[in-house]
């Protein structure tokens, strides 16, 4: 990803950026029907023959020049050509001709599939009870006390493992939840940014919200002033200082400092009293994609493949953790002494174990006894146990999932398909789809009763249960 880094003397025009990957065009192509431009590799990843921007049907999609990524077992190669050439090849391909036979075999084995599905559902139910029991008894889970990564690999098997029948079944208490998922709706929209929103961060004590954007600014919103109808564009503060996209935001525990990470390879510290910049530090040799406050430390990571540990009080770098071989997308606090990181090197590290997937991991959420992962290479969310054992996967998104959050046994997922989905981790079912954004969902954040989402459509949306009671009026978080 970072092999082709370059700098412009003057900021490039927005027209030079691909609307899918938000990077400078590589091998650009134009859709004939609606005249939208994309990188050839990006447009090839779409799941159907519609324009990702306007959803216009692209009838001549097969004539768009691109590269085919052909995989044969563990070998892979890039074949330049046209989609129409691939269609012609499939007409003569002997493997394609075998499909009717394969379909017949699938039909003959339908009874066996039903039996397997029933057994898998029973296994998942038992595993859910086991993981919920573990989350209620955290003292049974061994956490490391040193941030050293020993590469103990837990392979991402594509099958559920059998439950441990020797364990005594625990009767779990009825779940009480803050979320009323069935009545969840959009309770307000924030505009103001001139480009897509990349990160959102609530400040619960003051009922404020911070948003970062591709437009290089950080905006501060007073949620008491947000109207449920229309788009609110008046923020109470704008922080300027970064030269490129603001990717990450984090608040210190005392809420006196706001930290921001950017594509300009710096971390800035802002005073939350007057929103002035009090500290700027080079954070390495590449973009800063993720920040995480853990105890008295700030952790940062990004394109330079390392995790830097900063003292929040002195703003000094105390330690550098290495182990990943490619860009790091997310750092997540795992509780106790644990942190989890996801990377383009196809691994998720728990800093005493490694889960190897063979895919670029762009999102991660940890909680309720689960590790949930989103891949850049498909639209699936994979679910693992806290020890790294594979459990199941969710497949309802149409584009890759860039944001994951867990709260109260619900998983919230934000995708480039413009939607947010809510998954019940008791039943492993999608229980709600939140529609409203007209661009890629690139940021999610949770408060006690509220979900915030930031999108490539330049807006931030506030989601709450309806009807709003007296306590939630004025978007109180």
93 and 200 in a single domain? The answer is: no
Q: Which residue has the tokens 């942190």?
A: 339
50-64, 294-308, 377-391, 396-410: segment of lowest average pLDDT: 50-64
262-276, 375-389, 446-460: segment of lowest average pLDDT: 375-389
pLDDT at 404: 94
199 and 335 in a single domain? The answer is: yes
List, in order, residues 6 or more apart from 413 with CB less than 8 Å away.
Answer: 363, 374, 381, 394, 397, 401, 403, 404, 420, 421, 422, 423
Q: Which of 368, 358, 356, 344 is nearest to 290 (CA)?
A: 344
Q: What band does 219 get if pLDDT is binned at 50, 70 and 90?
A: very high
319 and 211 in a single domain? The answer is: yes
Give a yes or no: residue 156 inside a domain: no
Is the pLDDT at 168 greater than 60, yes or no?
no
Quick: pLDDT tens for 86-103. Answer: 778 778 888 778 888 888
198 and 340 in a single domain? The answer is: yes
Give a yes or no: residue 130 inside a domain: no
pLDDT at 467: 56
- Among the candidates 82, 101, 120, a domain finishes at 101
318 and 436 in a single domain? The answer is: yes
Average pLDDT value over all residues in the chain: 78
Two tokens at 28?
A: 């650009």
433 and 325 in a single domain? The answer is: yes
Give a yes or no: residue 122 inside a domain: no
251 and 391 in a single domain? The answer is: yes
Listing DSSP states for 60-87 in one string gives: TGGGSEEEEEEEETTEEEEEEEEHHHHH
Domain count within the chain: 2
Beta bridge pairs of residue 348:
342, 355
139-153, 290-304, 329-343: segment of lowest average pLDDT: 139-153
Two tokens at 345?
A: 């090197």
Reported pTM = 0.64
371 and 277 in a single domain? The answer is: yes
Instruction: Please report, to the nearest 10 degrees, the dihedral formed by the alpha carbons of residues 202, 295, 343, 283 taken in order.
Output: 90
DSSP state of 204: G
Q: How far apart are the first and last CA of the chain?
A: 38
Domain containing 47 — which CATH number?
A: 3.30.40.10
Give a yes or no: residue 114 inside a domain: no
- Among the candidates 101, 135, 157, a domain finishes at 101
Give a yes or no: residue 134 inside a domain: no
Listing DSSP states for 277-346 in one string gives: EEEEEE-SSS-EEEEEEETTEEEEEETTS-EEEEETTT--EEEEE---SS-EEEEEE-STT-EEEEETTS
Give a yes or no: residue 117 inside a domain: no
- Among the candidates 67, 101, 135, a domain finishes at 101
**Could you give the angle at which helices 99-108 and 110-136 cross, rounded to 10 degrees?**
70
Domain containing 457 — which CATH number?
A: 2.130.10.10
218 and 85 in a single domain? The answer is: no
277 and 374 in a single domain? The answer is: yes
pLDDT at 59: 62
Beta bridge pairs of residue 210:
201, 220
267 and 365 in a single domain? The answer is: yes
Is the pLDDT at 317 greater than 60, yes or no?
yes
Domain range for 55 is: 2-101
58 and 194 in a single domain? The answer is: no
Give a yes or no: residue 411 inside a domain: yes
Quick: pLDDT tens for 220-245. Answer: 999 888 877 778 888 899 999 999 99
Q: What band does 26 get if pLDDT is binned at 50, 70 and 90?
A: confident
Give a yes or no: residue 163 inside a domain: no
């Amino acid at each position: 990803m970072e092999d082709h880094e370059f700098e412009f003397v003057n900021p490039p025009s927005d027209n030079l950026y691909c609307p899918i990957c938000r990077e400078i065009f590589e091998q650009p192509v134009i859709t004939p029907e609606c005249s939208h431009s994309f990188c050839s590799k990006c447009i090839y990843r779409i799941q159907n023959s519609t324009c990702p921007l306007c959803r216009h049907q692209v009838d001549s999609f097969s004539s768009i020049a691109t590269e085919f990524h052909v995989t044969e077992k563990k070998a892979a190669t890039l074949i330049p050509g046209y989609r129409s050439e691939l269609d012609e090849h499939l007409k003569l391909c002997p493997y394609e001709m075998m499909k009717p036979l394969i379909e017949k075999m699938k039909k003959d084995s339908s009874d066996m599939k039903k039996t397997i599905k029933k057994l898998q559902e029973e296994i998942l139910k038992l595993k859910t009870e086991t993981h919920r029991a573990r989350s209620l008894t955290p003292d049974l889970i061994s956490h490391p006390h040193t941030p050293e990564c020993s590469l103990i690999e837990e392979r991402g098997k594509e099958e559920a493992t059998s439950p441990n029948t020797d364990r005594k079944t625990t009767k779990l208490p009825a779940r009480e939840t803050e979320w009323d998922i069935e009545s969840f709706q959009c309770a307000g929209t924030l505009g103001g940014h001139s480009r897509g929103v990349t990160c959102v961060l609530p400040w619960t004590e003051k009922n404020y919200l911070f948003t970062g954007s591709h437009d290089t600014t950080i905006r501060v919103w007073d949620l008491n002033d947000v109207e449920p109808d229309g788009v609110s564009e008046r923020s109470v503060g704008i922080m300027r200082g970064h030269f490129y996209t603001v990717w990450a935001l984090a608040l210190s525990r005392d809420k006196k400092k706001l930290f921001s990470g950017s594509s300009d390879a710096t971390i800035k510290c802002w005073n939350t009293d007057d929103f002035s910049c009090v500290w700027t530090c080079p954070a390495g040799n590449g973009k800063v994609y993720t920040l995480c406050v853990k105890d008295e430390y700030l952790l940062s990571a990004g394109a330079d493949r390392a995790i830097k540990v900063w003292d929040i009080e002195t703003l000094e770098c105390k330690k550098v953790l290495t182990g990943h071989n490619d860009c790091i997308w997310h750092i997540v606090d795992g509780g106790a002494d644990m942190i989890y990181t996801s990377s383009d090197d196809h691994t998720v590290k728990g800093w005493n174990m490694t889960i190897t997937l063979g895919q670029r991991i762009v999102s991660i959420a940890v909680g309720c006894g689960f590790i949930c992962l989103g891949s850049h290479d498909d639209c699936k969310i994979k679910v693992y146990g806290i020890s790294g054992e594979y459990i199941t996967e969710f497949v309802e998104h149409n584009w890759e999932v860039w944001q994951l959050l867990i709260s109260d046994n619900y998983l919230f997922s934000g995708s480039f398909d413009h939607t947010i989905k809510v998954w019940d981790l008791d039943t492993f079912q999608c229980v709600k789809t939140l529609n409203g954004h007209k661009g890629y969902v690139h940021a999610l954040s949770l408060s006690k009763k509220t979900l915030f989402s930031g999108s490539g459509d330049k807006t931030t949306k506030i989601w709450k249960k309806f009807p709003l009671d007296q306590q939630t009026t004025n978007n109180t978080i």
